[in-house]
């Protein structure tokens, strides 16, 4: 199987500070050895209704502004800053990507031409945005399937097929919660997605919001070739995603473990492996064994 690619989702865990974002890129690349980092891009007044924009944050202790709109604007990087982050990723030899939450953001990030653009679970039924990316963006399109019904997922894949873009799609099994208890991770959805769509899309991935790192190795064993996890420098920081994120050492261990599991998922290419021969010659007892 392919060595799984690991995406460290920085998202908004940079707290609106581009220098923290740069440090997170460096840590994900050099210390954790991830393949990609991923940010988020929102056009908040397009995405939110006026009522949502001007309402208080539902969890005021996590807010960076007096209203939810002000909170979201505080955490938002503009296109020029995303270009800077992409260049920072190149300096540290790690891939750059971004989740887009609306059509304007999709247009802006597509112009930066990252290797892939992510569609979060919350936005995967924005068919106008999906169609725009299918037609106007040549990179891969990663789509999370959290809080999405089977008919809705079929509609998404049908749309991508209709625009000859399904071969660029990676579908992620996902449960949308922060954090998700183990019994609701539902890892076997990877098999369901593979059975229904494995021959129709490019690859299958897993986007996890659980605690710890054991689940991700199991996802690789079930066929996920992409693993995405939220990443933070400090889980005690203010914000809704930090509690379901991995700190640097956890991310490093996750990368280590999923790659080890991937390397172990092979068959023997000969009945007795070369590494076994000295032990066989030294320890194997064949007395009384007869072969017909």
pLDDT in tens, 213-244: 999 999 999 999 999 999 999 999 988 888 88
pLDDT attached to residue 238: 86
Give residue 269's domain range: 5-283
- Which pTM was predicted? 0.94
Extended beta strands in the chain, E state: 5-11, 36-41, 95-100, 116-119, 140-144, 169-174, 203-208, 226-230
pLDDT confidence bin for 277, thresholds 50/70/90: very high
Domain assignment present for 17: yes
Domain assignment present for 242: yes
Q: In total, how many domains does the chain have?
A: 1
CATH number, domain with residue 257: 3.20.20.70
Give pLDDT tens digits for 49-90: 999 999 999 888 889 999 999 999 999 999 999 999 999 999
pLDDT attached to residue 82: 98
pLDDT attached to residue 290: 59
Q: CB atoms < 10 A from the CB of 27, how many?
A: 21
For residue 116, the cross-strand partners are 140
Give pLDDT tens digits for 169-223: 999 999 999 899 999 999 999 999 999 999 999 999 999 999 999 999 999 999 9
Cα–Cα nearest to 172, from 209, 128, 214: 209
Percent of the residues in the chain that have a pLDDT greater than 90, as a whole number:
90
CA 220 to chain centre: 13
Domain assignment present for 289: no
Cα–Cα nearest to 96, from 158, 47, 151, 34: 34
Mean residue pLDDT of the chain comes to 95
Domain assignment present for 203: yes
Give pLDDT tens digits for 144-171: 999 999 999 999 999 999 999 999 999 9
Domain assignment present for 292: no
- In order of 142, 272, 286, the CA distances from 277 in angstroms are 45, 7, 14
Domain assignment present for 71: yes
Domain assignment present for 290: no
Find the mean pLDDT for residues 14-37. Answer: 98
């Amino acid at each position: 199987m392919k060595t799984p690619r690991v995406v460290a989702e920085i998202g908004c865990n940079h707290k609106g500070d581009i220098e923290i974002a740069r440090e997170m890129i460096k840590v994900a690349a050099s210390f954790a050895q991830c393949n990609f980092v991923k940010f988020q891009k929102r056009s908040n007044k397009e995405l939110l209704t006026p009522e949502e924009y001007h309402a208080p944050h539902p969890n005021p202790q996590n807010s960076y502004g007096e209203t939810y709109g002000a909170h979201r604007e505080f955490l938002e990087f503009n296109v020029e800053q995303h270009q800077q982050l992409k260049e920072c990723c190149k300096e540290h030899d790690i891939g750059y990507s971004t989740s887009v939450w609306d059509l304007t953001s999709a247009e802006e990030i597509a112009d930066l031409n990252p290797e892939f653009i992510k569609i979060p679970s919350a936005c995967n039924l924005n068919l106008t945005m999906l169609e725009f990316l299918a037609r106007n963006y040549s990179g891969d399109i990663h789509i999370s399937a959290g809080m999405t019904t089977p008919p809705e997922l079929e509609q998404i894949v049908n749309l991508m097929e209709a625009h000859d873009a399904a071969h660029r799609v990676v579908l992620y099994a996902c449960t949308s919660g922060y954090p998700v208890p183990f019994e609701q991770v539902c890892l076997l959805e990877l098999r369901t997605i593979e059975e229904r769509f494995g021959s129709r899309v490019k690859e299958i991935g897993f986007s996890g919001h659980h605690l710890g790192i054991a689940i991700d190795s199991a996802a690789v064993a079930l066929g996920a070739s992409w693993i995405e996890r939220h990443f933070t420098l400090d889980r005690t920081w203010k914000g809704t995603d930090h509690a379901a994120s991995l700190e640097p050492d956890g991310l490093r261990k996750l990368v280590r473990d999923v790659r080890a599991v991937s390397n172990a998922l092979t068959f023997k290419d000969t009945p007795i492996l070369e590494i076994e021969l000295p032990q066989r010659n030294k320890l194997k007892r064949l007395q009384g064994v007869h072969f017909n």
